Amino acid sequence: MSTQTTTATKRQILVIGATGRVGSQTINELARYYSDQFYIVAGVRSKSEKAREQRHWAGRTRVIYIDAEEPTSLAFNNIDILFIIPRLLNNLFPFRSTSSRQDHVKHVKAYVDAAIQNKMSFNLLSIVLPRDENILFAKQFNEMENYVATCNIPNCFLRCGYFQHNFLLQADDNVIRLPINAGHMSPLNVIDVARAACSIFTDPQVHAGKSWHLFGLGIANFQIEVWQSLQPRGLNGDGIAKAASKGLGREIIFANVS
């Protein structure tokens, strides 16, 4: 295929939340493996982040500043695919939140409205689904998903489990707090989310109107072809605490977050 043909067929992907765990890993995967298929645009939520990311991605990724409260920053010209990673997803422990001072739902709605106005062809939203749907951040994610589902743009959802990386942030605590009640969970590697997203980007029409539930396998090798067939073994809260106790050499207990 000639360079001219390749360039003509390349689409632009905008990743909103590009500096968070999911966003940065997705940008890494796109830049490393898919630069011949896509123009990559990293959407950051602060001007200091923009300057830093421009230095980091110089020559490989375009970086833009996005403010959901500033309409002029939402002029997503020539963007074909939008990947929204809510700010709430980048919080260390989003399920501990008891306040909605930052209106995460409002911001996602603003991004979706901008996508509609700019006639984007596909919209992907990444959310975390806790076992307890009554806590604040679960309600916020549900509202985000419902809004995206009603837009007139083909869309897909990545419903993620709890991230493995978050356990490292609790390593100094003797209590593991999780919103799973008596349920089970299979913690997910953030790399798997990024790879799943990239797989969707390469053939978005196949995934339009679908929701994919991602669960961890213990290693970062998740393949989109086996999402529906795999039944990973999960642990309940006490099982996770027991495993942590063994690994850390001290007693760790589980506490449900409601």
- What is the set of domains in the chain, with CATH numbers? 9-167+187-233 (3.40.50.720)
pLDDT at 131: 55
Per the CB < 8 A criterion, the answer to whether 177 and 184 are in contact is no
The Cα 243–Cα 138 span in angstroms is 26
The Cα 177–Cα 249 span in angstroms is 19
pLDDT at 215: 77
- The beta strands (E) that lie in 50-131 are given as 62-65, 81-84, 122-128
pLDDT at 229: 40
The Cα 241–Cα 237 span in angstroms is 6
Residue type, 84: I
pTM: 0.81
The Cα 15–Cα 45 span in angstroms is 11
Helix axes of 136-149 and 104-117: crossing angle, nearest 10 degrees: 10
Question: Helix, strand, or coil here: 36?
Answer: coil
Give the angle subtended at the CA of 31 by the CAs of 26 and 37, to the nearest 5°.
105
pLDDT at 102: 56
- Taking only the tens of pLDDT, the chain with its 258 residues reads 334 434 458 999 999 999 988 999 999 999 999 999 999 999 998 888 888 888 888 888 999 999 999 989 998 889 999 999 987 654 444 444 444 445 889 999 999 999 999 999 999 999 877 655 677 777 888 899 999 999 989 999 998 878 888 888 788 899 988 877 777 778 888 898 999 999 999 999 999 999 998 877 543 344 444 344 444 567 888 998 998 899 889 999 999 876
Residue type, 168: L
Closest C-alpha among 197, 21, 67 to residue 123: 197
For residue 156, what are the β-bridge partners?
Answer: 124, 210
pLDDT at 87: 78
